[in-house]
C-alpha cells in the first residue's frame, strides 16, 4: 500500500510544480503580431506597418486595407529607397516601372502632406 500512497504524493508534487496558477486562471500570453518582409529591402516588420501590393492581371495595385484577393507583397511605406524600380522587379517584373511611379506619386504625396501639417501657413 505504501507504493500507492507514494505515487499519489508524486502526482501532488508534480501538480504543485505546474505553470498554471492555483487559482485556476490562465497565464498571460503575448498577442501574436503577424510579421511581413519588404520585397525591396528584405526588412521584417509588423504587418500593420507595411503597404501591401497585389499583382492582378491589369498590373500591380496598391492595397492599403490588405483585403484584396490575389498574390500580395509588402513594401516599407516610409522608405523611398524601397520604391525604386530595380528593387520592385523581383515582384512585379515588367510592371515594376509602373509600380515604382505609382508608389512615388501616392507615398510621396502622403509624405509631403504630412510634412506640411507641422508647418504654420503664411
Per-residue pLDDT of the chain (122 residues; tens, 9 = 90+): 555 555 655 555 555 555 555 556 677 888 999 999 999 999 999 999 999 999 888 888 999 999 999 989 999 999 999 999 999 998 999 999 999 999 999 888 766 666 665 555 55
User: Hey, what domains does the chain have and what are their CATH numbers?
Assistant: 35-117 (3.30.1230.10)
Which residues have a Cβ under 8 Å from the Cβ of 34 and sit 6 or more positions away?
46, 47
Reported residue count of the chain is 122
Which letter does DSSP use for residue 71 in this model?
E
pTM above 0.85, yes or no: no
What's the grid cell of residue 9? 504524493
pLDDT at 58: 86
Maximal C-alpha separation, the chain: 93
Amino acid at each position: 500500500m505504501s507504493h500507492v500512497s507514494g505515487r499519489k504524493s508524486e502526482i501532488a508534487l508534480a501538480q504543485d510544480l505546474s505553470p498554471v496558477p492555483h487559482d485556476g486562471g490562465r497565464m498571460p500570453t503575448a498577442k501574436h503580431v503577424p510579421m511581413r518582409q519588404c520585397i525591396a529591402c528584405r526588412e521584417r516588420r509588423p504587418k500593420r506597418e507595411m503597404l501591401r501590393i497585389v499583382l492582378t492581371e491589369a498590373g500591380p495595385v496598391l492595397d492599403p486595407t490588405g483585403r484584396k484577393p490575389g498574390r500580395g507583397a509588402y513594401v516599407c511605406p516610409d522608405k523611398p529607397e524601397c520604391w525604386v524600380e530595380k528593387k520592385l522587379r523581383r515582384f512585379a517584373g515588367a510592371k515594376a516601372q509602373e509600380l515604382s511611379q505609382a508608389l512615388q506619386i501616392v507615398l510621396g504625396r502622403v509624405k509631403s502632406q504630412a510634412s506640411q501639417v507641422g508647418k504654420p501657413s503664411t
